[in-house]
Amino acid sequence: MSLDIGEAFSEGISRTVAKNGLLLAVVFAVVALLTTVLFQTFLVGLLEAILEFMQSASTSELGIPQSEYDQALEQLRNTAQQTRQTSPLALNIPAGVAAAGLLVLAIVSEAVSIVAIRVFATDETETMPRDLTTRNIVLATLNGFIGGIVVSALILVGFVFLIIPGIFLAVAFYFLRQEIALNDKNFVQAMADSWRVTKGHRITVFALALVLVLIAQLEAMVGSAFGELSPLASALVTPVVGGILGVFGAAVVTRAYVQLQEPDLEAEPETSDEQTDPYDAALGADDIPE
């Protein structure tokens, strides 16, 4: 079946504002908020650790002149101070602990994405069957997490080579998580099947992805606008907007995937309910026994 972008967006909106969509938006927002907290904590902690190292090291140990050392130290102090001022949610914990927390949250986020895809692929809008949240969730999450890293690396390499290969790979593997979440594939099989599903529809899939990327810029725009008021307001509002947009994007992409899985009835040859009788024809002279 061909991909109808308008239908995918229409279904994405209706699924997002339904009970399940709003519940998932809250979960996405909470994960995004915790990620913001830990990222700010990691950034501040890392800069402070570097600053402490610089202050304890001598110019002879670093192998640089005193003037360069003083200049670098001053720049580092200014950067650390600015980062503290723009990181109101940073916690007083080591950067290593924050980094470990970010890794855990990335895996949790992957699990939530798997559940969201399963929910949006069904007709359920008000209830969330247990099977959707528990079926093979550990393996699906690990495959989604590792597969996402692999595909991102391939896309990055593709962008190095004149951008176009990166865009092509991003489109070809666009339904990686749908294949993992809905069909319990490992990430290698999911990559192969996503390639197959997008074949013949890649221009349309690219157009759909481009629109979603443009819509996703609303998060940065809202964050920037609230940042003019205060860093704290921006840090609190941005994850909420990101949660809503994340759920909307998952719904749109999943409904597009479901469209492409439906059989193309127009391409199927018409068949008659009645069997054609090979002997249902007028008899010729040779057919009459003597």
DSSP labels for 178-234? HHHHHH---HHHHHHHHHHHHTT-HHHHHHHHHHHHHHHHHHHHHHHHHHTT-HHHH
Q: Residue 265 pLDDT more than 90?
A: no
For the residues 214-226, what does the mean pLDDT come to?
A: 92
Confidence of residue 229 (pLDDT cuts 50, 70, 90): confident
Q: Cβ distance 220 to 75 under 8 Å?
A: no
Residue-averaged pLDDT of the chain: 88
Q: Going by C-beta distance under 8 Å and a sequence separation of 6 or more, which residues neighbour residue 128? A: 20, 23, 115, 119
Question: Which pLDDT belongs to residue 139?
Answer: 95
Distance, in Å, from the CA atom of 201 to the CA atom of 19, rounded to the nearest integer, reads 31
Confidence of residue 159 (pLDDT cuts 50, 70, 90): confident
Confidence of residue 1 (pLDDT cuts 50, 70, 90): low
Question: Which pLDDT belongs to residue 252?
Answer: 97
Task: Please tell me whether residue 128 adopts helix, strand or coil conformation.
Answer: coil
Confidence of residue 108 (pLDDT cuts 50, 70, 90): very high
Q: Residue 287 pLDDT more than 80?
A: no
Question: Which pLDDT belongs to residue 277?
Answer: 52
Q: Residue 137 pLDDT more than 70?
A: yes
Question: Which pLDDT belongs to residue 110?
Answer: 96
Question: Which pLDDT belongs to residue 158?
Answer: 87
Q: Residue 6 pLDDT more than 80?
A: yes
Q: Residue 264 pLDDT more than 80?
A: no
Q: Going by C-beta distance under 8 Å and a sequence separation of 6 or more, which residues neighbour residue 273? A: none
Helices then strands, each counted (H, E), the chain: 12, 0
DSSP 175: T
Confidence of residue 164 (pLDDT cuts 50, 70, 90): confident
Question: Which pLDDT belongs to residue 268?
Answer: 46
Number of Cβ within a 10 Å radius of residue 187: 24
Question: Which pLDDT belongs to residue 263?
Answer: 67
Question: Which pLDDT belongs to residue 68?
Answer: 85
Question: Which pLDDT belongs to residue 262?
Answer: 77
Task: Please provide the distance, in angstroms rounded to a whole number, between the alpha carbons at the two ends of the chain.
Answer: 57
Q: Cβ distance 282 to 39 under 8 Å?
A: no
Share above pLDDT 90 across residues of the chain, in percent, rounded to a whole number: 66
Question: Which pLDDT belongs to residue 274?
Answer: 46
Distance, in Å, from the CA atom of 203 to the CA atom of 209, rounded to the nearest integer, reads 10
For the residues 46-73, what does the mean pLDDT come to?
A: 86
Question: Which pLDDT belongs to residue 2?
Answer: 80
Question: Which pLDDT belongs to residue 55?
Answer: 86
Q: For the chain, what's the residue count? A: 290
For the residues 61-69, what does the mean pLDDT come to?
A: 83
Q: Residue 224 pLDDT more than 50?
A: yes
For the residues 21-46, what does the mean pLDDT come to?
A: 94
